Chains A and B, each alone.
Chain A
């Protein structure tokens, strides 16, 4: 009886060790896989000089009585220009470069320009957005833990690491890719408070000629 008990415990310990080693190895493989996958995706997604896309943004925020649905267009031009034009529910435009952010809205009809130097927090926010939209996902690995939620079409979940200031607000960010893995299908940002923002990209065109007026905040006035 006693021998059986010892044998049983030994088996348990061996199984536990086997499982531990196997899971550690699998985890190592998974990390390498993810890095490789993100790198490949980065190459795919970032293989454009310019980009035009329509989008629908849904905001489920506790601050609002109802879900807010916005429609508009995003223009990206490498290395560092992004325009964000919204037509509904209010008309406004934001143009972001590495030096400044220019904004306009229909209600005030004023153009406001904010320099990014000396505004590190704001700068960081915009840097993060640029990374999400431009596809340099490998650079996010130092600030986020990544896991694959779905392989086809690919869906990743990015969770801020402990030292990442974004962790104070964001619980996780889910990125869904198109079938051809050339660009994003949608981004969902889930906040710690439970609020969420989802951006769905539609009719994305790569390397289409983008005119300077597309980067003017007051072009539609």
Chain B
């Protein structure tokens, strides 16, 4: 039935070939015009699975200021210049930056603002002091301790810095401020950076670097905006004197660099693949009309880009990056039809003969890409739409348009005919090759089981070396290479968030130790705790205790000539303490408390190790609206989700390929033989990858599935060829198809972007081994098990 309808359609297009060609030209013009309106994206999240943990981590980084920060590290390169020159230049740079792109710029911490922040915190002391700290203070109220403190105070006042400590010592002779400083000290450890403050500026320990931190108005996923932002900043940096060098550290640089690398790779791949393909067709086939085969996938890709954008509303560069590979597949259909039609006075019989294997070859590949719709990775869904459209259009143009454009080459070129005849009549398949194939397949199957999935997304990050080197220099100067995991408490209600954060802190320090969990909970306890602490504080500072302490100060103070009212400010302050605990407005709190449009997020930090992640994850499961953001969690989740995705896609693909192959032959034996190349492709691919120490990643996973589809085409063609005794140039066509695919994929190996490069390696191994098995195994198996018709 398929053959009958396909033949009728072929005859119809043959009768109206001029009309069909005109429509095609019209559609090409429309598509070319529409191409100007297509906008491409380069969002990394599109190649990540849609999973709650992954999306939440990405959303966390997007919403928090952490990912959106732009850091500039300036270095003094001349020994003749000093820190004053450096600070002057960084101030001038901060002043010249575009405020619409960088709404907040900091070159340091203002001494007055940090003094105010500490003062504010000190005012909230009663609400912050825990029961154990009250006991600690109680232990200080005795003759020995007071005497010691007053002796220290006396010496401090006599020292050069005493001028600035007079009022502090009068208002806090017991050193209660140290309780606040200790809490603050634990917070500063969470940054992991090695920063000194000099003259209100961030300075490196060697004194030769200064740092500027800017909030950016551009989301890190906006590639156009990121480019504009970096260009603006680079223009500002050009104005720096020659004795200062600058490094820019930000995620925006990765976004722009990834897009730049992919674009450059696409241009390189497209040009090289096109030139090699044209040369191959012109010199091997020696027929100018063979160039038309090359135009089939180009036309299909053109239509597909426009149609996919129309259906999806967006299209990733990543998907287009695979265009050359897809073109490599779809060129196969044109090649088969060309070899069936060329040199024939009436090609229709021969073309009609290849319609079925070509169509079913296309169907099996489409079936594989249908499996991509079941993936949780949005980029794969896009790829499925894009590829299916390309395959359908390419197949249709190959079968119904291309044969009518091929010039009758009878008597003109004999090279391809000789090659076709030679290949058709050379039998590379025999018992020995089949046995060798069986042995190698079993051997590689044992290695295939050990191929690993790449968990580190950074390994497929195509950021340019200069950016990575700048980051290495930055970490060498400023530290901070070890990233911390984040325990996030999220709530619409600020007080509720504080309460949960406090509970989590007390559980977390028990699980991982105080030194390994940095939380704002000690400085910002919940309202309930603040109230309890304040009441305890007021009870503690009873009139009796005050009088006792006053007496101690008086008696011990005489030894150092302290006046009677020396510490009166301390006693006045005890009454003036506030029990309120408003959100203090100081810079370093931004790292721990973040207000989004919807909620408050309180963030605590801990070392990103599996042990701590597991322990804290257990706590997080007990509290709704809390979660962890860590590279360890992200990698684990990614690995689990993508592995599950891969398994599902392989099953769907395998079943679809088997069903469609069976529908092509309606014979179990022929179906099993036709499935030999795809089975070989997948087993050998995974086995060789394991042997070479390569791993599966989110990018080359697609290539692997794609290779199975191509190998299944070869299986169908070669089995179909053995079924009928028609010289339709199948072996030469398959060989040329493989060569073209290997060219397309082989060029990808040289891509700078590691994701595209890994796709190339996978395609070359998968398609190459699938092709070999179709040439050296399938014919012998057909000879043994298939009855010729």
Q: Measuring CB to CB, which residues of chain A are less than 8 angstroms from any residue of chain B?
A: 59, 61-66, 68, 70, 84, 86, 89-90, 92, 94, 96, 98, 103, 105, 107, 116-118, 120-127, 129, 163-166, 168-170, 189, 191, 193, 195, 197
Contact, CB under 8 Å: B161 / A125:
yes
Contact, CB under 8 Å: A64 / B111:
no
**Residue among A66, A84, A117, A166 making CB contact with B159, cutoff 8 Å:** A84
- 159-210 of chain B: CB within 8 A of chain A: 159-164, 166-167, 169-170, 188, 196-199, 205, 207
Contact, CB under 8 Å: A63 / B115:
no
Contact, CB under 8 Å: B163 / A64:
no
- Contact A70:B158 (CB < 8 A) given known A120-B114, A121-B111, A123-B197: yes
**Residue among B169, B198, B562 making CB contact with A65, cutoff 8 Å:** B562
- 382-412 of chain B: CB within 8 A of chain A: none
The reply to whether the CB of B157 lies closer than 8 angstroms to some CB of chain A is: yes
Query: Can you list 20 residue pairs at the A/B interface with Cβ under 8 Å?
Result: A63-B170, A64-B157, A64-B561, A68-B158, A70-B158, A92-B159, A94-B160, A103-B159, A107-B151, A118-B196, A120-B114, A121-B114, A123-B198, A124-B111, A126-B160, A126-B161, A127-B199, A129-B161, A163-B110, A195-B166
Bound-complex Cα distance A17 to B112 (A): 38
Question: Using Cβ atoms and an 8 Å threshold, which residues of chain B touch A191?
Answer: 163, 166-167
Bound-complex Cα distance A62 to B188 (A): 36
Contact, CB under 8 Å: A92 / B163:
no
Question: Using Cβ atoms and an 8 Å threshold, which residues of chain A touch B199?
Answer: 124, 127
The reply to whether the CB of B449 lies closer than 8 angstroms to some CB of chain A is: no
Question: Using Cβ atoms and an 8 Å threshold, which residues of chain B touch A166?
Answer: 164
Question: Using Cβ atoms and an 8 Å threshold, which residues of chain A touch B109?
Answer: 120
Question: Using Cβ atoms and an 8 Å threshold, which residues of chain B touch A122?
Answer: 161
Q: Which 5 A-B pairs have the closest CB atoms?
A: A120-B197, A165-B111, A63-B566, A117-B196, A165-B112
Contact, CB under 8 Å: A64 / B158:
no
Bound-complex Cα distance A115 to B625 (A): 42
Bound-complex Cα distance A170 to B112 (A): 14
Question: Using Cβ atoms and an 8 Å threshold, which residues of chain A touch B562?
Answer: 63-65
Bound-complex Cα distance A191 to B166 (A): 9
Question: Using Cβ atoms and an 8 Å threshold, which residues of chain B touch A124?
Answer: 111, 199
Contact, CB under 8 Å: B158 / A92:
yes
Bound-complex Cα distance A94 to B561 (A): 22
- Contact A64:B188 (CB < 8 A) given known A121-B111, A129-B160, A168-B115: no
Min C-beta distance of A78 to chain B, whole Å: 13
Chain A residue at smallest Cβ distance from B108: A120
The reply to whether the CB of B155 lies closer than 8 angstroms to some CB of chain A is: yes
**Residue among B112, B151, B158, B198 making CB contact with A164, cutoff 8 Å:** B112
Chain A residue at smallest Cβ distance from B207: A98
Q: Chain A interface mostly helix, strand, loop or mixed?
A: mixed
Contact, CB under 8 Å: A105 / B155:
yes
Min C-beta distance of A153 to chain B, whole Å: 23
Min C-beta distance of A122 to chain B, whole Å: 7
**Residue among B110, B155, B163, B565 making CB contact with A197, cutoff 8 Å:** B163
Contact, CB under 8 Å: A107 / B155:
yes
Given contacts A62-B563, A120-B109, 11 further A-B contacts (CB under 8 A): A59-B158, A61-B157, A61-B166, A63-B157, A63-B566, A64-B157, A68-B561, A89-B158, A92-B159, A94-B160, A107-B155
Of the listed residues A124, A127, A166, the one surrounded by the most CB atoms of chain B closer than 10 A to its CB is A124
**Residue among B163, B167, B170, B188 making CB contact with A118, cutoff 8 Å:** B188
Min C-beta distance of A218 to chain B, whole Å: 15
Bound-complex Cα distance A189 to B164 (A): 10
Min C-beta distance of B575 to chain A, whole Å: 19
Question: Using Cβ atoms and an 8 Å threshold, which residues of chain B touch A65?
Answer: 561-564
Chain B residue at smallest Cβ distance from A116: B196
- 119-167 of chain B: CB within 8 A of chain A: 151, 155, 157-164, 166-167
Question: Using Cβ atoms and an 8 Å threshold, which residues of chain B touch A116?
Answer: 196
Contact, CB under 8 Å: A84 / B115:
no
Bound-complex Cα distance A189 to B337 (A): 98
Question: Using Cβ atoms and an 8 Å threshold, which residues of chain A touch B167?
Answer: 169, 191, 193
Bound-complex Cα distance A105 to B566 (A): 23
Bound-complex Cα distance A125 to B111 (A): 11
Chain B residue at smallest Cβ distance from A193: B167
Question: Using Cβ atoms and an 8 Å threshold, which residues of chain A touch B188?
Answer: 118
Per-position 1/0 for B86-126, Cβ under 8 A of A:
00000000000000000000000111101100000000000
Question: Using Cβ atoms and an 8 Å threshold, which residues of chain B touch A103?
Answer: 159
Question: Using Cβ atoms and an 8 Å threshold, which residues of chain A touch B198?
Answer: 123, 127
Bound-complex Cα distance A103 to B162 (A): 13
Bound-complex Cα distance A193 to B561 (A): 19
Bound-complex Cα distance A65 to B554 (A): 11
Bound-complex Cα distance A189 to B160 (A): 12
Chain A residue at smallest Cβ distance from B153: A63
Min C-beta distance of A191 to chain B, whole Å: 7
Question: Using Cβ atoms and an 8 Å threshold, which residues of chain B touch A68?
Answer: 157-158, 561
Of the listed residues B109, B164, B197, B564, the one surrounded by the most CB atoms of chain A closer than 10 A to its CB is B164
Bound-complex Cα distance A89 to B157 (A): 12
Contact, CB under 8 Å: A66 / B111:
no
- Contact A63:B155 (CB < 8 A) given known A120-B109, A120-B114, A129-B161: no
**Residue among A61, A98, A125 making CB contact with B164, cutoff 8 Å:** A125
Min C-beta distance of B386 to chain A, whole Å: 54
Bound-complex Cα distance A168 to B167 (A): 10
Bound-complex Cα distance A166 to B161 (A): 12
- Contact A117:B205 (CB < 8 A) given known A125-B164, A197-B163: yes
Chain B residue at smallest Cβ distance from A61: B166
Bound-complex Cα distance A96 to B160 (A): 10
Question: Using Cβ atoms and an 8 Å threshold, which residues of chain B touch A127?
Answer: 198-199
Min C-beta distance of A123 to chain B, whole Å: 7
Bound-complex Cα distance A189 to B111 (A): 20
Bound-complex Cα distance A84 to B161 (A): 11
Question: Using Cβ atoms and an 8 Å threshold, which residues of chain B touch A126?
Answer: 160-161
- 555-583 of chain B: CB within 8 A of chain A: 561-567
Question: Using Cβ atoms and an 8 Å threshold, which residues of chain B touch A193?
Answer: 166-167
Min C-beta distance of A94 to chain B, whole Å: 6
**Residue among B112, B159, B196, B563 making CB contact with A63, cutoff 8 Å:** B563
Per-position 1/0 for B200-224, Cβ under 8 A of A:
0000010100000000000000000
Bound-complex Cα distance A90 to B162 (A): 15
Bound-complex Cα distance A65 to B562 (A): 5
Contact, CB under 8 Å: B155 / A92:
yes
Chain A residue at smallest Cβ distance from B568: A62
Contact, CB under 8 Å: B561 / A66:
yes
Bound-complex Cα distance A191 to B157 (A): 14
Bound-complex Cα distance A69 to B562 (A): 14
Min C-beta distance of A118 to chain B, whole Å: 7
Min C-beta distance of B95 to chain A, whole Å: 15
Question: Using Cβ atoms and an 8 Å threshold, which residues of chain A touch B567?
Answer: 63
Question: Using Cβ atoms and an 8 Å threshold, which residues of chain A touch B158?
Answer: 59, 68, 70, 86, 89-90, 92
Min C-beta distance of A115 to chain B, whole Å: 10
Bound-complex Cα distance A2 to B753 (A): 91
Bound-complex Cα distance A67 to B682 (A): 92
Question: Using Cβ atoms and an 8 Å threshold, which residues of chain B touch A117?
Answer: 196, 205
Question: Using Cβ atoms and an 8 Å threshold, which residues of chain B touch A84?
Answer: 159-160
Min C-beta distance of A54 to chain B, whole Å: 15
Min C-beta distance of A129 to chain B, whole Å: 5
Chain A residue at smallest Cβ distance from B199: A127
Bound-complex Cα distance A68 to B166 (A): 14
**Residue among B159, B164, B561, B566 making CB contact with A62, cutoff 8 Å:** B566
Bound-complex Cα distance A169 to B205 (A): 29
